[in-house]
Structure formats: C-alpha cells, structure tokens
Copies of this chain bind each other. A is one copy, B any other.
Amino acid sequence: MTRYQRLAELLAQRIEQGLYQAGERLPSVRTLSGEHGVSISTVQQAYYLLEEKQLITPQPRSGYFVTPRKAAPPLPPITRPVQRPVEITQWDAVMDLLNARLDKDMLQLGSGMPCIDAPTLKPLWKIISRLGQQQDPRLLSYDNLYGVPELREQVARLMIDSGCQLTADDIVITTGCHEALSVSIRAICQPGDIIAVESPAFHGTMQTLRGFGIRAIEIPTDSVTGISLEALELAFEQWPINAVVVVPNCNNPLGFVMPAQRKQALLTLAQRFDAAIIEDDVYGELAFEYPRPITIKSLDMDGRVLLCSSFSKTLAPGLRVGWVAPGRYFDRVLHMKYISTGSTVTQTQMAVAAFIRQGYYQPHLRRMRSDYQRNFEVFTRRVRHHFPCGICLTRPQGGFLLWVELPEPFDALRLNQDLRASHIQIAVGSLFSASGKYRNCLRLSYAQPFTDKTDRALEILGEAVERAMLCCPAVAEPSARGEAGEGRVSEKEGY
C-alpha cells in the first residue's frame, strides 16, 4: 500500500467513525500535509481517491467536503411467488432481450455478457490463431459425443476447487451451459412433469421448461440465503416434483451464494423426495470470495445432482463451451446431447483446453473476480446515487448481475420501452418468473468497465424510474427522493 493510499484509508476511517461529519469541510491540503508529514501531492492523491469512492466532494474554490450519505438501500425481501405449478410464457420478452444484441448502439445493461476485453484473455487469440496454423485434423472432424478428452480432463481438475471429485469420464461437453441445462432437463423429465425453480429464476431455464411442456413451481427465494427450504419441502409434499433447478453460487439474478449448510439441507431434501437437482454453476468461479464456494455436486453421494456449467461467463460466450456432470443420468444425458446437436465444435473446445493447460485460466479468473468486484462497488454506488429512495438492491457475492426491486406497481416493461430512445436496455424482472411476477424489478449487469457512458445511462435510468414512480400514485411518496436530492453529487460525470 502506497503512502497516499494509507492516508486515504485513515481519512476514510475518520469519516466512517464520524470524526468528520457529513457536509463538513475537510482540512486543507496544506494542513494535512503538515499534520502527516507527507507531500502536497500525496494529500492531493489521497483526496482524489476518496473523491473517486464518493466519500468526499470537491466544491470549487472551497476545498473538499464529506459527501452527505444516503442510507444503503435494503436488500429485497424474500420473494412470494404463486404456490402452484404454472405454464411458462414470456418468450416475447426474451426475444426482446436477445434482439437488443443486434443494436450496436444499445448500452446493454440487461445482458448476461461478460467482459471480454481483459488483457488476461489475450493469449486466447494466439491459441486460436495457432490452432489454424497447426492444421490439426481433429478441428475439422466429428468430435466424439462426450467431447474432447483434454478439455474434459481440465474441467474435472478445475472442479476440485468446488469440492468435486470428478474424472474426465464423468463429464459431457455441451454447446454452452444452455445445452447442458437443456439436455439435463430432458434427460430427467417428460412433458407435463413439474420442476421446482428458484423465484426469480434464469429466463433461459424457464424457456427450456416451457419448450418441453414442463410446468414450473416457483419457490420463494431469499436474496442472501437462496431458495426457501421450508417452502420447497411444502411444495414437495403437495406436488409430484421431479427435480429442482438451482443456481446456488452467485445466483442469477439475485447474486447470493447459498451457505454450505443450506446446500447440504437442499440435497437431503431432494434425497427424501427422490428428486434430481440440476445445479447451474455458471457463475460459481466468479465468486468474490476465494477459495470459491462449494457446489451441491460436491456433497452428492448418490449421483442425483446434474452439475451444469460453461466457460461463457468466465472466458467468452461466443466459444459455446459448456459441460455437464450428469451423475447417474449420464447415459440419458448423452442420448439427449446426441439428438440435440450430435457433437460439439472441436476447435473452441481445444482452444479452451489449451488456455487452461498453458496456465492462463487461473490468472484470468483472478483478474475477472477482482474487476467484477470493483465494478460492483462503483456501479452500486452510482445506482444508489442516481436512483430515488424506496428501492431494494441485492448485494451480489460474485458474478456481475445486480437485481433492483422498485415499489409495486412499478412497470419495468414500460420503462424498458421508454429507455429505447436513449439506447439503454435493461432486463425486465418479469423475464425471471413463470407467473408474471417481478414486473417491478430489473436486472442490471456491471460486467463492463464503468465509464462516463455507464454513469450517464444510470442517471437516465434513475430519472426514468423517478418519473415513473411520481406518475404512479401508489408508488409515489412525498419523500420518494428522500435525501437523494441533496445527495446527488454535482461533480464531473462518472470517473
């Protein structure tokens, strides 16, 4: 830690402890320089850092002031979905989300796209290029149905960190996690069956259930501890549920990491009712804490967990390299993969295997974890700044997705339409429910580096939300903006 960072930390502590109060003028640069025996520029740098963190605000010709603090928005309360199996719709809204990819000018705040610009990803280009030069005939040949052996070995090794004892032979490579989920669902369900899902739940999984004529029963889910085991048990008692689909690590969209004991309890419950667990771990390696959280699969003794994942969030989604460890359902998953795509692209599998084998994967993962965590902090701070009071915000423990809950009956669908003119796209909450819940919610992505453009977009978004809340009597409250008015910082946009 450099000198100015130490000074900044000291000042931040004092602000935290109330030694410097909100709105109070801070000591001049010269005073601090004398007091701490450091240079003027060191103090200046420390102040810049605190300004960047929005703890202090410069006032032209008056010096620095402690930024008035806005209360941290609360976490969303546990969800309350409909307690019976429902048919899934929402395809139009999903298409809407997907079509936004076509518009190059659109700022895609709703997208699940990771950042692919990190320097630690650069060696992948060289690997791709070299694969072309080497003219390995395997690139052009049918892959075997299981997937490229080297890659399966690497995946098995990576999964040790999640507590899993897997071998290459336990793994089937798929075209992204999407196919992994799709073949898993099909391997264990028939049309008309019922699957329990978290609520909110990833729209891709929901659409897959819909496509196979499977009904979803949405289970209340807490934004810190995950799926409610009590509600799930009740559902198991009432309905013939075949399987549970969960994203226990860095949940999409709520961002929680389910505590290990709850993972064990979920597995025990599934055993008691003889249900399978489809575990979507696609964000698991992007947990902010290290070592990464365990998978439910790591606790699984009787092969009932189908662990699905991919390199779409950790490396790049265009590679479409996913995989599934299907446990006791291996043969059926293999059959389903055969009828789904026959085999997987060889080239991108070999590229990923080489990237891992040559030692590039772990440094890249470290970099992305820390980038996303930093993005999260900045992004959340700016959301709090630009958005009116009365919202709930998740505190993701990994990944790059933030869930914003606005007071009912806020209509995110309409907001999304209104934002189109400003070339901003969000993921509307109703995508994540089979029963039309969460119209008052949005999912935002902080995967991309935070820029002026992002900040401006959050400002527009905040204003639009505020307008919508004022127009809507049930939502608007006299102090809907609360301290936000004063709180809005007038410094240069973004950083």
**A interface with B by C-beta (< 8 Å):** 91, 94-95, 98-99, 101-102, 111, 113, 116-117, 121, 124-133, 135, 137-145, 175-176, 178-179, 182, 186, 190-191, 204, 207-208, 210-213, 312, 315-320, 334-336, 338-348
Smallest beta-carbon distance A304→chain B, Å? 22
7 intermolecular pairs with C-beta atoms under 8 Å apart: A125-B132, A128-B347, A129-B131, A140-B315, A141-B317, A143-B318, A204-B342
Out of B91, B142, B319, which one reaches A317, CB within 8 Å? B142
Closest chain B residue to A321 by CB distance?
A: B345
With A140-B316, A318-B345 as given contacts, are A339 and B207 in contact (CB-CB < 8 Å)?
yes
Smallest beta-carbon distance A469→chain B, Å? 32
Out of B128, B138, B191, B320, which one reaches A341, CB within 8 Å? B320
A246 to B301, CA, bound (A): 46
Out of B116, B127, B143, which one reaches A141, CB within 8 Å? B116
Inter-chain contact B128/A343, CB cutoff 8 Å: no
Smallest beta-carbon distance A113→chain B, Å? 6
A450 to B357, CA, bound (A): 38
Inter-chain contact A342/B178, CB cutoff 8 Å: yes
| B contact residues around A191 at 8 Å (CB) | 190-191, 213
Inter-chain contact A341/B176, CB cutoff 8 Å: yes
Inter-chain contact B140/A318, CB cutoff 8 Å: yes
Out of B111, B116, B318, which one reaches A347, CB within 8 Å? B318
With A133-B129, A339-B207 as given contacts, are A142 and B179 in contact (CB-CB < 8 Å)?
no
A208 to B139, CA, bound (A): 25
A178 to B91, CA, bound (A): 24
Smallest beta-carbon distance A322→chain B, Å? 9
A393 to B127, CA, bound (A): 47
With A176-B341, A207-B338 as given contacts, are A318 and B141 in contact (CB-CB < 8 Å)?
yes
| B contact residues around A113 at 8 Å (CB) | 141-142
Inter-chain contact B133/A318, CB cutoff 8 Å: no
Smallest beta-carbon distance A40→chain B, Å? 42
With A142-B101, A345-B318 as given contacts, are A186 and B211 in contact (CB-CB < 8 Å)?
yes
A334 to B139, CA, bound (A): 27
Closest chain B residue to A208 by CB distance?
A: B339
A342 to B322, CA, bound (A): 11
